[in-house]
Amino acid sequence: MVNSTLVVTLYVNPMTGNDTNTGSRLSPFKTLTRALKVTRILTRIHLESGTYSAANGEVFPLIVPEGATVVGNEANKGIEIVISGSGEYQSPSFGMQNITLLLLNNASVLGVTVMNNSAKGTGIWIESAAPTLANNTLKDCGREGVFTAGTAKSVILDNIFVQNTASGLVMAGHSQGEVLRNLFERNPLGIVISDFAAPAIANNKLSENRTAIALSRNAQPVLRQNLIAKNTQGGLLVNGNAIPDLGNTEDPADNIFRDNNEFDLYNATTQKLVSVGNQLNPALVKGLVELIPSNEVAVNTNSCDNPTKSPSQKLPTSLQLDGHWAEPFIQALVSMDLTHAFADGSYQLDKPMTRAQYATLVTIAFNPFPKIPAPDFTDVPKDFWAYSAIQIAASGGFVGGFSDRTFRPDQNVQRLQVIVSLVNGLGLPAVESDVLEVYSDRHTIPDYARKAVATATQGGIVANYPDPQLLAPSCPATRAEVAAMVYQALVAIGRTSAIKSAYVGLHSRS
């Protein structure tokens, strides 16, 4: 099936463009202001390197309308594409503001640098909308890099927030959404969460700020797997009636607090906080806090190590496949000569697959063509056994790195990462998320991944063993599961025929 929706692309070049041009690749506009005036839903505005400022004809604030995408260079976080300026915006929630960009519903800004040097200036303002910010740099703003207000439900991924005058990111009102894999560095406050805001804050790095995260009023963020280190005052400051989710016995938070100066966690409220599975220094914990380490977390029978897997299925070699649920998929991949990713010479089907092994498997299976420049991962030297495969898989859009420029090749790949990777890498057309009703744990799927999971589910790609209706998105993917999903992805693009399995494909809930 081909997605026939027409996406219009406009081009802007502040050096060679002219606003009397047509906005085509060969006849670009000069200003982003002009491109936004003619933008309609499903318009993509491509920015060439340069400075987009009032001196070059921009009129601020710049308003990115619903469904439009402004894109620069995501590979380098937009360091050569600078949008710098300020204009007045009357916020329904907070009155008159000085802002650079206003994002309306479902707008996207990708791969640019945003600066607002005005006193109390904000780089990007989001008011009761659901936009996406990815791979941008927010720096040198007179107040904060990004402010979300109202009922905004933003997706803020893989950005850099650095050297803003007051804070990197402020989330107020009833803001929700996800803040994932961003770098907050050298801001007085890395993230500020206030009012009734309740976002998911996960896999971010916050370092060398004064205070990494400050909560106030009735904020209720969920904090997972963040690295909060080397902040000159402290890590997490909790004020007012704020109640952060710092993990529970079924879902440890796994935040790492390290080398902060005055405190790792400071609870300035009268309510006791419970911290489960976080790594912090008890001597740097202040206020009413109960610390529950990871080794005291109760075993969850619905967790990644499902007890219904029988010991006989821990198979040590490629010769012992009889009876394993994934045997047909492995045998099919063997016949296609696509099993080189098992670098140790054995299958060990119920062993987790590493990110390096996964990159190698998708490179062999799909031979992806390059879509973006291959990144330079700091922890993958050229003599690493999977260096070439990681470069090919990354440039082909199947895998990505982290905000600290690492790839973490020996880390286990998660089931959700595999599913999203296959959908995005192959460019499969999206479907609606109603199909997710088949999963009993569908509430654990992050919002940003719901369409990808729905697409993979509808396409018969997802493998769930032993319970076909339990997705377990955050669990490590076993070699068997990855093999089955890669094979089914080959089916989805017409490379081979489907294999019938009770654990693969779409299964209705009873």
List per-residue pLDDT tens for the chain, 510 residues long: 334 446 789 999 999 999 999 999 999 999 999 999 998 777 999 999 999 999 999 999 999 999 899 999 998 999 999 999 999 999 998 999 999 999 998 899 999 999 999 999 999 999 988 999 999 999 999 999 999 999 999 999 999 999 999 999 999 999 999 999 999 999 999 999 999 999 999 999 999 999 999 999 999 999 999 999 999 999 999 999 999 999 987 788 989 999 999 999 999 999 999 999 899 999 999 999 999 875 544 434 345 654 333 332 332 333 345 568 888 888 888 888 777 545 444 567 888 899 999 999 999 999 998 888 878 888 999 989 899 999 999 999 999 887 678 899 989 999 999 999 999 999 998 887 788 888 888 888 887 888 999 999 999 999 988 888 889 888 889 988 999 999 999 999 999 888 888 888 765 444
What pLDDT does residue 280 have? 93
Q: How is residue 236 written in tokens? A: 């997490």
Task: Report which of 74, 5, 18, 7 is spatially closest to residue 42, judged by C-alpha positions.
Answer: 7
Question: Is residue 39 assigned to a domain?
Answer: no
3-class state of residue 154 by DSSP: strand
Residues spanned by the domain of 102:
54-296
| 22 assigned to some structural domain | no
Instruction: Find all residues with CB under 8 Å of 149, minimum gap 6, and list them.
Output: 91, 93, 94, 125, 126, 127, 128, 172, 173, 175
Q: Are residues 281 and 344 in the same domain?
A: no
Q: Does the model's pTM come out above 0.85?
A: no
Q: Which residues contact 6 (CB under 8 A, 6 or more apart)?
A: 42
Residues 124 and 214 in one domain: yes
Q: Are residues 137 and 169 both part of a single domain? A: yes
Q: Is residue 45 part of a domain?
A: no
Asked if the structure places residue 207 within a domain, the reply is: yes
Q: What tokens does 82 get?
A: 């600078």
Dihedral sign for Cα atoms in the order 52, 55, 60, 63: negative
Specify the CATH number for the domain of residue 168. 2.160.20.10
Count of domains for the chain: 2
pLDDT for 301 equals: 37
Query: Quick one: 252 and 289 in the same domain?
Result: yes
If asked whether residues 192 and 317 sit together in one domain, one would say no
Same-domain status, 254 and 343: no
Q: Is residue 388 part of a domain?
A: no
Residue 403: inside a domain? no
- Considering the domain architecture, whether residues 259 and 343 belong to the same structural domain is answered as no
Same domain, 320 and 469: yes
Q: Please provide the size of the chain in residues.
A: 510
| 140-169 CB burial, b ≥16 within 10 A, e <16 | bbbbbbbbbbbebbbbbbbbbbbebbbbbb
Residue 63 lies in a domain: yes
Task: Judge whether 426 and 452 are in contact, CB under 8 Å.
Answer: no
Residues 123 and 238 occupy one common structural domain: yes
Q: Are residues 62 and 125 in the same domain?
A: yes
| pLDDT reported for residue 509 | 45
Structure tokens at 39: 């933008």
| Residues 281 and 317 both lie in one domain | no
Distance of alpha carbon 264 from alpha carbon 3, whole angstroms: 49
Q: Report long-range pairs for 178-183 (Cβ below 8 Å, ≥24 apart).
A: 178/154, 178/202, 178/446, 178/447, 178/448, 179/154, 179/204, 180/155, 180/156, 180/204, 180/446, 180/448, 181/157, 181/402, 181/403, 182/156, 182/157, 182/158, 182/403, 183/159, 183/403, 183/404
Residues 253 and 338 in one domain: no
pLDDT at 261: 96
Give, in order, the Cα–Cα distances in Å from 164 to each of 118, 191, 199, 415, 510. 11, 11, 21, 36, 53
Query: Tokens representing 490?
Result: 């080959």
